[in-house]
Amino acid sequence: MCEEVNAKIATDISSSVDNFLFDCDGVLWNANEVIPGSLETVKGLKALGKRIFYVTNNSTKTRAEYAQKCVKLGFPATEDDIVCTSYISALYLHNMNFKGKIYVVGNPSIGAELDRFGLRHTGIGPDPPDEDQPAFQPVPGLDLDPEIKCVLVGFDKYISYPKIMKAASYARQEGNIFLATNEDSHLPMDVPYVVPGTGSIVTSVKVAARKEPVVMGKPQTNMFKCLQEAHNLDPSRCMMVGDRCNTDISMATNCGMRSLLVLTGVSTLADVGAYKASGDPTHATYVPTYYASRLGQLGKLLGLSIP
């Protein structure tokens, strides 16, 4: 499939889609700059009676913080409209009635969401290596806490050798839960260097632990299941709008939704062509239903006032 949106397709989308799930970075904004046409399209869809959700793999903000950012940039949002991986990770453990302690390779927003559910955790913050310690030696005096029964890995600007060692050691223990917020390779930022994503941190832990994590974010289905249960959503009446084929579009495919790829972020049409030609069944899930140069293209076709 993968057709460019046109007037006929836009009309069909308007009549057959009730719920729009938007990725944020690379779709609605880049860093703190709104992508032209995105704000007007989201507002226009909401004015047409569509339900708007913001679905992001970013774990560096709580739901409340993400809602605040949306509102600051002009997007209509409440906390209930936000699904982020810091929240989903905490909800996942809460729903399984987890009672142990969690070792977190992550950031304060993950900790805040865990705190909301009364989940005990440790590990957030700097844990630098001892400069006098010989390379590849165990952390001096490291005693594994027997209360820790889960490892949760997200984005952590303080990632260090001691953290990888501790996380891998806990994850490796039999019966312990190993979670990752997401495995995104890099952040879609318009800068002349690579900004490594959470996937680079997750990989360092899972390779050492020789164990695969349960991934909370896209392309896995946990995020949509959370929305589906909370709002009684019919996937056939939902559309995922994203910029990354192997996360946004793949989750849509895995959940039975239609998808729209916008070319303002990570993935390109050349990527889509390669996925279609590869014959790999996993790559087949990366192929969107539709594509547009930017979100505002859909807005214009819907007759909205787009700059």
Place of tokens 């006098």: 132
* Identity of residue 75: F
Which SS3 state, helix, strand or coil, does residue 286 take?
coil
Residue 234 is a catalytic residue: no
Instruction: Name residue 69's amino acid.
Output: K
* 3-class DSSP assignment, residue 291: strand
How far is residue 23's CA from residue 20's CA, in Å, rounded to a whole number? 10
Query: Maximum Cα–Cα distance for the chain, whole Å?
Result: 67
Rounded CA separation 129/143 (Å): 16
The position carrying tokens 């030609």 is 277
* Contact assessment for residue 214 and residue 178, using Cβ atoms and an 8 Å cutoff: yes
**23 assigned ligand-binding residue:** yes
242: number of CA atoms within 13 Å, CB side? 29
- Out of 12, 18, 23, 127, the active site residue is 23
Annotated active-site residue 23? The verdict is yes
DSSP string, 259-272: EEEETTSS--HHHH
Burial, 207: exposed, middle or buried (Cβ in 10 Å; 0-12, 13-18, 19+)? exposed
Is 280 known to sit in a ligand binding site?
A: no
Residue 143 in marked binding region: no
Catalytic residue among 12, 18, 25, 248: 25
Beta-carbon contacts of 172 under 8 Å, excluding residues fewer than 6 positions away, are: 209, 210, 211
Task: For residue 50, say whether it is annotated as part of any ligand binding site.
Answer: no
| Binding site members | 23, 25, 218, 243
| Binding site members for Mg(2+) | 23, 25, 243
| Binding site members for substrate | 218
> Which residues are catalytic, by number?
23, 25
